[in-house]
Structure 1
Amino acid sequence: MPGSAPVKSPDDPSAASSAPKTGSGPGVSYVEAGEGDAGQRIDNFLSRIIKDVPRSLIYRILRTGEVRVNGKRAKPETRLVEGDRIRLPPIQRKTDEERAAERSAPSRSLREFVTSAIIHEDRDLIVVNKPAGVAVHGGSGLNAGVIEALRAARPELKELELVHRLDRDTSGVLMIAKRRAVLRELHSLLRERDMEKRYLALVVGRWPFGTKTIDLPLKTNMKSGGERIVRVHADGQQAITTFKPIQHFGKLATLLDISLGTGRTHQIRVHAAHAGHPIAGDEKYGDRERDAKLKPYGLQRMFLHAQSLSFERKGVKPFTVSAPPPPDWQAVIEKLKQDLK
């Protein structure tokens, strides 16, 4: 069946396109209803021929009288007849870049989830108690993470940047700088190791070493598919981690307080695994058999939590911020304590 037959616009007598003019040009365009369009509602017809615009725009141009059929204003329920001449107003179409930006924009639920996790804010910093399972930034198949959600929720803050990072499955303190000058200052503190970072971790098995500092270099390798794996290796970068037991849960697990002397990728996870007691629930460096024994207690994810950050800045009073472990973490610890009794 014949389709819609475009005709020349009187505003552009040279126009002789083979399709309706529905782009971002300045002129009005016209299209003729073909045999196959007979009986179709004008709103459905417009939605078919005007691509990549919301249906709300279709109804707006109908409501305001910008669409006319044979010179008369058309209503959404107007039925077409073969040969009807339809006037189309100029329509601003979205560019490919705009459509791509919309697709990658953080969802409303993610924006609300992240902003509800803010535990501190001042003129220089935002601190979030990052939930486990939320990435700090987009990438690797994810459109958005914490930083993108905050930028979308707080567009007036033009220089928001992550001060440091946490693994996606690690919960806890995550710091974001509001200004680049603050970011540079805090990065300097990190390089000079003048920022104290403390973690809580539940490791599998009974930690036998007491307080122990592991000083072993770490090297990052990329496996097939782009997966990042870190190993203890003589050619790696220096990495220092101090583990201090807080509570033993029989032979099942141990709750540890951890402080970092350096900030290497996956440092705590790799050092704990190298010591023979990987983080509970760590799918990359962990022990599945020993994890299975913790499943009845509610173990469903990696049990690593960034507990606190402390540092001193020039001209600013000492800063410390801490974040409590999330409810699912606390529930597992309580069940282990009950079992121990």
Structure 2
Amino acid sequence: MTPEQLKADLEGCYVTIPTPFADTEDFPVNEEALRSYVRFLTGSGLTRDYATFLAGGAAGDFSTMTFDERMRVAEIVLDEVNGQVPVAVGAQTTSTLELKRLAKRASELGASFIQVSCPYYFTHTEADFEEFILAAAEAAPDIGIIVYNTFWTSQGVSFDMVERLAKIPSVVGLKWATPRTDAMEFEDVTSHFSDRFTVIDNNLFFAYSATPAMGARAFEVHNCNFWPEWGIKLIDEVKAGNYAEISRMLVKEAMPFYKLWVDIEQNYTSGDGYLDKLCMELVGLPSSRCRPPTRDIRETYRDATLAMLREIGAPRLPA
């Protein structure tokens, strides 16, 4: 597939699929529950016209899984979508050698993309990160690379670094988040590079980033995991240029989810995917906790989560 085709395939909702685990001592991956998740998403309309699925990203507990588990999760998601949806595989790692293995295996499995962030723990330089990306591109030249700016865990990606990434043909996506400063880093990069990359808005600026002046064409949306129709409506409104309705959706239907997420992270546990999983359980899907050290939120936050889902009008809730 050409870079232009990959960029087009990446447009829409970027849906990070949580990885369910069995509630037993070692928390093995619950493969049948994962298949149920994917069937729920595709059966509710999240196909390639509206979405890309991320297998084994942060909400998919990549940091608690072995290489083999990560690849098995990717294999299951790819098998279930059966070509209906483009699939990205989470390839965050602290090791260039492992990144090359992840890229090669994702390509062999038939994934369209890998998602890569600057290695964490050590404060690597941008030159380190450039070599890291180049290693992935050389290891699997046919797979699209999505660069994710996880500035909160590692070296942030500067405007100059984005310019250098633009010279690597297989880097087709920029999952873009920045701290909020007067320099307007989010807007600067998005407006300058939306023709070169498919920019995935990870800052929840949908009503703004989707405007022609900014040009973002993909959006990280956790609501899709329990309310796929919400993401479908979002993309339809983006295509229609109905920015007032997109703003309403964000404030009335997305913001309560993210506010509850922040409350849990500040007061109970940290990680990713735990609130998605609880919401999915409440709409009738099989679910689980995240692997430790993220603690199980289900009993502590069940009532608050159910109240939030009712507030935003999520479908499929118990009477």
The TM-score, its normalising length taken from structure 1, stands at 0.26
Which has the larger share of strand?
Answer: 1
Q: Which has the larger radius of gyration?
A: 1
